[in-house]
């Protein structure tokens, strides 16, 4: 099975720029960024509720738990929110601040919850429309893991952040490219 494309900075800018001209631009930009900055799967993005990410006062939580039924492997995990993701989510809150806390964090244009499949389709459509035909709903997750690995984060920590039970699963996500190889040999 072919792996999802790891996104470059230029790819991410292209996808976010494309989202900016869409009808649901803030929602779509937030979905893309949550995928990349937190490594969330489409199923996890679709299952999030407002109260998962924001406290009663509307502040972005430092971390939140994805419940077992919201994940692929049926194991709950904690998602840590970076400063960059906190800014993204703070902007998004302005759009949804009147939404009840039990409501989906992301809603379709019909004001219903996304399913895992419709979230996958949304991501695929965005990537295809902006000229990234090899990107999939898993590209943000793969980019998240690869970028952290490039920064020297231990694979055990990566597995925990990704919600993988085995580091061998995490290792399959890490992309290797010629630039990384060239930098690596310079460390000798």
Please check whether residue 39 lies inside any domain of the structure.
yes
Q: What pLDDT score was predicted for residue 148?
A: 87
| Radius of gyration for the chain, computed over Cα atoms and rounded to the nearest angstrom | 16
Please check whether residue 68 lies inside any domain of the structure.
yes
Please check whether residue 92 lies inside any domain of the structure.
yes
In the chain, the number of structural domains is: 1
41 pLDDT more than 70: yes
Please check whether residue 146 lies inside any domain of the structure.
no
52 pLDDT more than 80: yes
Please check whether residue 89 lies inside any domain of the structure.
yes
Q: For position 59, which CATH number holds?
A: 1.10.443.10
- Contact at 8 Å (CB) between 34 and 45? yes
Please check whether residue 175 lies inside any domain of the structure.
no
- Contact at 8 Å (CB) between 85 and 38? yes
Q: How far apart are CA 115 and CA 123, in angstroms?
A: 12
Please check whether residue 87 lies inside any domain of the structure.
yes
What would the pLDDT profile of 87-98 be if each residue is shown by its tens digit? 999 999 999 999
Q: What pLDDT score was predicted for residue 126?
A: 97
What would the pLDDT profile of 155-184 be if each residue is shown by its tens digit? 888 888 877 777 777 677 777 777 777 877
Please check whether residue 178 lies inside any domain of the structure.
no
**What stretches of 22-168 adopt beta strand conformation (E)?**
63-66, 77-80
Q: How far apart are CA 105 and CA 128, in angstroms?
A: 24
- Domain range enclosing 85: 9-140
């Amino acid at each position: 099975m072919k792996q999802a494309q790891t996104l470059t900075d230029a790819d991410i800018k292209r996808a976010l720029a494309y989202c900016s001209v869409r009808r649901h631009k803030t929602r779509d930009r937030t979905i893309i960024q949550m995928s990349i900055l937190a490594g969330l799967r489409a199923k996890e993005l679709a299952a999030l509720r407002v109260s998962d990410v924001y406290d009663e006062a509307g502040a972005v939580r430092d971390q939140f738990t994805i419940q077992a039924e919201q994940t692929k492997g049926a194991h709950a995990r904690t998602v840590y929110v970076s400063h960059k993701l906190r800014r993204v989510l703070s902007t998004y809150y302005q759009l949804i601040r009147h939404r009840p806390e039990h409501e989906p964090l992301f809603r379709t244009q019909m004001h219903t919850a996304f399913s895992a499949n419709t979230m996958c389709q949304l991501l695929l459509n965005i990537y295809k429309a902006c000229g990234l035909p090899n990107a999939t709903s898993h590209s943000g997750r793969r980019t998240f893991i690869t970028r952290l690995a490039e920064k020297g984060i231990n694979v055990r920590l990566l597995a925990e952040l990704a919600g993988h039970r085995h580091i061998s699963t995490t290792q399959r996500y890490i992309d290797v490219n010629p630039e990384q190889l060239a930098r690596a040999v310079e460390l000798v």
